[in-house]
Amino acid sequence: MTQYEKNFKQMITELNQTWYSVRESAKEYGVSEEIIYKLEIAKEISNNDLRKRISTIFLTKQRYGATKIHQVLLKEKLSVSLKHIQKLMTQLNLRSIVFKNTDLKSLFKRFFQKRTF
């Protein structure tokens, strides 16, 4: 497969996500349908690698949510949007452990309201 420019690959994947069929988009850009399918397969493979990486990060620290995982991936020089990470985490059924913050004032109020003098 010959090397194509990044813009060309993006344009074809965007076109393929619209109402155009693979055949119509291949005809419009003068390429074979096989190239479009190969580009989609490559995108799916990279998503699978990203899913594996997200799950390993999540399993090491169960408190890590999408934002912290996003920061870890940025430190590893992987540029992925936060929304994409959130979408992949929901597909993997990964949810971070969240502790509810309660201020002491409300705790004391509830405690003293229940107590009878």
pLDDT digit string (tens) for 19-49?
567 777 778 777 787 777 777 666 666 788 8
**Contact between residue 69 and residue 57 where contact means Cβ atoms under 8 Å apart:** yes
**Which residue range forms the structural domain that includes residue 12?**
6-114
What's the structural domain count of the chain? Answer: 1
Q: What is the pTM of this model?
A: 0.52
Does the structure show a pLDDT above 80 at 106? no
Asked whether residue 61 is assigned to any structural domain, the reply reads yes
Please check whether residue 13 is in contact with residue 40, taking contact to mean a CB–CB distance below 8 angstroms: yes
Please answer whether residues 45 and 33 qualify as being in contact, where contact means their C-beta atoms are separated by less than 8 angstroms.
no
Instruction: Please check whether residue 1 lies inside any domain of the structure.
Output: no
On the question of pLDDT at 114 being above 70, the answer is no
- The answer to whether residue 60 is domain-embedded is yes
